[in-house]
Amino acid sequence: MIPPAAPQPPPELELDYQPPAAEADDDIQHSLFGEILDWMLAPLLLLWPMSIAITYLVAKSIANQPFDHALEDSVTVLAQQVHAVDGKVIKGLSGPARDILRADDVDSVYFQIQGPRGEHVDGDRDLPPPVIDEDDKPRASVRFRNDTMHGTPVRVAYAYVRLERAGGDEPQLALVQVAETLEKRGQLANAIIKGVILPQFIILPIVLALVWFALARGLSPLAQLQERIRARSSDDLSPIASNQVPEEISPLVNSLNDMLARLSLSIEMQKRFIADAAHQMRTPLAGMRMQSELALRQTDSGEIHRSLEQLAKSSEAATRLVNQLLALARAENQPQAGTAMLPLDLSELARSAVQDWVPASFAQRIDLGYEAPAVPVQIVGNPTMLRELLSNLIDNALRYTPAGGSVTVRVRAGDEHSLLEVEDTGPGIAPAERTRVFERFYRILGNSAEGSGLGLAIVREIAQQHGAEVDIYNNPRAQQARLPGALFRLSFPLPPPAPEDESEPPHYG
């Protein structure tokens, strides 16, 4: 019997599977405690070997000084025993004095006396002479050098003794040297090193423990702040008390408080927006329900037809409200959506938008016109969002302009901005109301025109996304009309100059 084949994964799963991406260095979470500890201990551990090396050199220098003084005294005493008689070098060093000079329990001591011509007078013949020019020979000072004797390092003290000659001849110089091995010096240097380094081995762990404790103690306010924030309820957006944290953390707490204030304002606006949207949706939905129930009870075809007409109007109002809510949501989420901002001709965009509203203006008996600039007006923006902006401005103007009036869309180039204007011959907007008309669902009292109160809010949101400013004025061309009219002017920033060395247009994102 052939065993059944093992189940294979569906092909689409194999094609869609992507291995997890490698974690980047910027995505790795770092410990503040660890980084501070590293920055404190790394220099300490690097300086510690340097301290040992410097201590060793200082210890050797300290160890050399007393022994060099002893060698200097030996050379001085030996030089006092050397003099010249009848042109010959005579030494006054007896056998016991020679034994005392060589007496040392640890090191080997050597001495040597040479005549003016380098002849051996007394002492060890194998002790090498110093390398020095005749003109540089000192007359009355003891000098030191490091040398070797029978392959062993030695420290040598030497001096030249002035020998007076009879008859007033020029005096001659005899060489006196005393050398010793370096055993005692090494022992003393090692003793100094041990006396200095061993306490460091004891102190270093204590220092590390103190640094660890100090860091943990210093970072404890962060842990306390974390616990206070974690203990809050999900709806508690009240400010964090900045006087309960150290001064260094105060800027962070102030930034958190600013963010909480903005978040609280955003949540409050969303709640108000949802409440207003629900209230606005209730009216057309209630009308649709009432008209549908009325149509069900009617038997006359004419009454049913009128009820269906009212039902269609209510559904149209509900559809427009939903579309404007969606448009406002798209405008508010434009930065997060990442839609590209492209170079475009504002005059062509305005001409196309005006053409879309010509049938509506004919139905309302309003003269809808467009004034084009002499040259193309270039801006940087999102065509879809800007078309939505212009459609809301034109729709707003048509709704508030009475029959027989006029609405004009104008594009022109300014010295520092590109200008888009929509003017009408309607009732206008009082100066006190011009800042509030951009609020969501705000309607000017005493106005019978239909609308949801979202059109100008969408205009402001899209304008802010494009860095444009919106201003409202009375229409200066409505002098002959009985109504003051309104003029909406949008000032767009000029686009940056195109790069000279690129053949393709730049991409704005």
- Among 188-197, 227-236, 372-381, which range has the highest average pLDDT? 372-381
pLDDT at 351: 92
**How far apart are alpha carbons 429 and 434 in whole angstroms?**
6
pLDDT band at 293 (very low <50, low <70, confident <90, very high): confident
pLDDT band at 332 (very low <50, low <70, confident <90, very high): low
pLDDT at 407: 92
pLDDT band at 48 (very low <50, low <70, confident <90, very high): confident
Give the mean pLDDT of the chain: 77
**Of residues 379 and 189, more confidently modeled:** 379
**Pairing relationship of beta strands 109-114 and 469-473 according to DSSP bridges:** unpaired
pLDDT band at 9 (very low <50, low <70, confident <90, very high): very low
pLDDT at 509: 36
Cβ distance 411 to 435 under 8 Å?
no
| Count of C-beta atoms within a 10 Å radius of residue 491 | 17
pLDDT at 134: 58
Of 469, 473, 472, nearest to 491 by C-alpha is: 469
Mean pLDDT of 476-487: 74
Is residue 465 pLDDT above 80, yes or no?
yes
| Count of C-beta atoms within a 10 Å radius of residue 192 | 17
**How far apart are alpha carbons 340 and 336 in whole angstroms?**
11
**Of residues 30 and 502, more confidently modeled:** 30
Task: Provide the percentage of residues in the chain whose pLDDT is more than 70.
Answer: 73
pLDDT band at 449 (very low <50, low <70, confident <90, very high): low
**Of residues 371 and 85, more confidently modeled:** 371
Mean pLDDT of 286-296: 76
pLDDT at 97: 62
pLDDT at 255: 87
Is residue 155 pLDDT above 70, yes or no?
yes
| Count of C-beta atoms within a 10 Å radius of residue 185 | 23
Beta-bridge partner residues of 145? 156
Q: Where are the beta strands (DSSP E) in 115-272?
A: 120-123, 143-149, 152-163, 172-181
Is residue 409 pLDDT above 90, yes or no?
yes
Q: Does pTM surpass 0.85? A: no
Q: Tell me: the pLDDT tens digits for 228-276?
A: 888 888 778 888 887 777 777 788 888 888 888 888 887 877 777 676 6
Longest Cα–Cα distance of the chain, Å, equals 166
Task: Provide the percentage of residues in the chain whose pLDDT is more than 90.
Answer: 10
pLDDT at 14: 43
Mean pLDDT of 477-493: 79
**How far apart are alpha carbons 454 and 332 in whole angstroms?**
13
Determine the residue type at 306.
R
Residues contacting 111, CB < 8 A, separation 6+: 74, 78, 98, 101, 102, 122, 123, 124, 127, 176, 177, 178, 179
Burial 41-75 (b: 16+ CB within 10 A, else e): eeeeeeeeeeeeeebbeebbeebbeebeeebbebb
Element of type H or E holding 290: helix 250-297
pLDDT at 488: 92
Is residue 98 pLDDT above 90, yes or no?
no
pLDDT band at 336 (very low <50, low <70, confident <90, very high): very low
**Of residues 20 and 201, more confidently modeled:** 201
Measured CA to CA in angstroms, residue 438 lies from 204, 311, 353, 372, 435 at distances of 68, 30, 21, 27, 6
